[in-house]
């Protein structure tokens, strides 16, 4: 029962009546004050529970802090572009199936997204340019464009594999198997993988409890043991930034030594539901999402969807946008658009 319902239930809304007669159910002033106090006492736990998610006043400029592309794992396919604090583009498919675990806005405006049961490339006008449908019993949670001609994705299946497809000819140009912890439990295999500047790929083996780097022939070059890694990216300094669904973000050097980490204890005023993707920004700050599981959780309107930290872990921006006209929903992907970027300008071995 919310606060308004509780107030009405206590008779705090008067009946209409003729002049000079006190209507039935009307509270006398002294009783009304007592009832109002009772409403506040009853509502206090609700306010406290919601306020515990995050402070009312957040650091930063809200939606206007950055221009960004946004998508998140939820029951429907929702994606947004926000510029100067306003939603300038949206993709809403409430009849969709599967969760968006990975999405990339290309420099030409096209959007590539992995949505559990397939991968799709669309134009800004939402025309489908290419689509891969995962076979029954398989899932795809991560995909990355290589130029405008190739798409790399990982399929959770038995066996699991990495594949690169020429989307003009639909021909497979590279494929190799990937190890998993439990081949039959495909949902827990992988969530995110990213190419490195060296043309290798970092794969977060969620159920194999490690992050591994592979060359384009599938040879493992480096690995780091960690529980339930969700994503990993190679930083310009050669270190690797990892986010786990155990509410941990960690930066490790090539020898596996921790050089920076972020835990919920570092931000005690904010309730963290789940980290998924951490991004190191050009200014040295770290952007991380706070994913809310809408299958098992009722979203509290005070929950934040993203947080930006300085290297000293000072929180400089927290995003909270759950209501129209910018109800962004749960956060997974946040691709900043403050400067011109070409995310498809990557290579995988000799594939460009």
Please name every residue paired with 251 in a beta bridge, in sequence order, or none if there are none.
Answer: 241, 260
pLDDT at position 293 over 70: yes
> Given this model, what pLDDT does residue 51 score?
54
> Given this model, what pLDDT does residue 301 score?
86
* Residue-wise pLDDT tens digits, 130-186: 999 999 999 999 999 999 999 999 999 999 999 999 999 999 999 999 999 999 999
CA distance 157 to 134: 9
Confidence category of residue 52, pLDDT binned at 50, 70, 90 = confident
Q: Provide mean pLDDT across the span 102-114.
A: 98
* Residue-wise pLDDT tens digits, 202-260: 999 999 999 999 999 999 999 999 999 999 999 999 999 999 999 999 999 999 999 99
| Spatial CB neighbours of 333, under 8 Å, sequence gap ≥ 6 | 69, 70, 71, 72, 100, 102, 103, 104, 277, 289
Lowest model confidence (mean pLDDT) among 21-25, 268-272, 338-342: 21-25
Dig out the tokens for 100 from the structure: 């968006």
> Given this model, what pLDDT does residue 50 score?
55
Q: Provide mean pLDDT across the span 331-339.
A: 96
* Residue-wise pLDDT tens digits, 180-195: 999 999 999 999 999 9
Domains of the chain from N-terminus onward: 66-336 (2.130.10.10)
Work out the number of other CB atoms within 10 angstroms of the CB of residue 350.
9
Query: Could you check whether the bond before residue 325 is cis, i.e. omega within 30 degrees of 0?
Result: yes
Lowest model confidence (mean pLDDT) among 25-29, 63-67, 100-104, 116-120: 25-29
> Given this model, what pLDDT does residue 43 score?
38
Confidence category of residue 294, pLDDT binned at 50, 70, 90 = confident
> Given this model, what pLDDT does residue 300 score?
82
> Given this model, what pLDDT does residue 85 score?
98
> Given this model, what pLDDT does residue 26 score?
35
């Amino acid at each position: 029962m919310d606060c308004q319902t509780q107030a009405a239930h206590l008779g705090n809304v008067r009946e209409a009546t003729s002049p000079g007669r006190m209507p039935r159910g009307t509270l006398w002033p002294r009783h009304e004050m007592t009832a109002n106090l009772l409403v506040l006492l009853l509502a206090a736990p609700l306010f406290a529970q919601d306020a515990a998610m995050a402070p009312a006043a957040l650091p930063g400029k809200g939606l206007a802090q950055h221009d960004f592309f946004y998508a998140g794992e939820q029951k429907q396919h929702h994606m947004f572009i926000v510029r100067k604090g306003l939603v300038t583009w949206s993709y809403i498919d409430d009849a969709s199936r599967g969760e968006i675990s990975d999405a990339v806005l290309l420099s030409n405006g096209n959007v590539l997204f992995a949505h559990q049961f397939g991968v799709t490339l669309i134009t800004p006008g939402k025309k489908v340019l290419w689509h891969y449908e995962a076979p029954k019993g398989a899932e795809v949670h991560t995909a990355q464009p290589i130029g405008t001609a190739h798409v790399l994705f990982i399929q959770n299946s038995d066996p699991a594999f990495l594949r690169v497809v020429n989307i003009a000819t639909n021909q497979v140009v590279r494929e190799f198997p990937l190890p998993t912890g439990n081949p039959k439990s495909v949902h827990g295999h992988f969530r995110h993988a990213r190419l490195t500047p060296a043309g290798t790929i970092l794969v977060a083996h969620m159920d194999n409890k490690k992050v591994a780097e592979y060359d384009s022939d599938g040879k493992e070059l480096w690995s780091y043991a960690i529980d339930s890694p969700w994503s990993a990216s190679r930083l310009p300094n050669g270190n690797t930034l990892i986010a786990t669904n155990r509410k941990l973000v960690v930066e490790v050097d090539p020898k596996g030594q921790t050089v920076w980490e972020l835990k919920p204890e570092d931000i005690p005023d904010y309730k963290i539901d789940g980290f998924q993707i951490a991004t190191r920004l050009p200014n040295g700050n770290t952007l991380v999402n706070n994913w809310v599981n809408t299958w098992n959780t009722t979203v509290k309107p005070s929950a934040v969807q993203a947080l930006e930290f300085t290297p000293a872990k000072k929180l400089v921006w927290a995003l909270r946008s759950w209501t129209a006209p910018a109800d962004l929903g749960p956060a997974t992907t946040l691709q900043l658009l403050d400067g011109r970027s070409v995310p498809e300008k990557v290579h995988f071995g000799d594939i460009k």
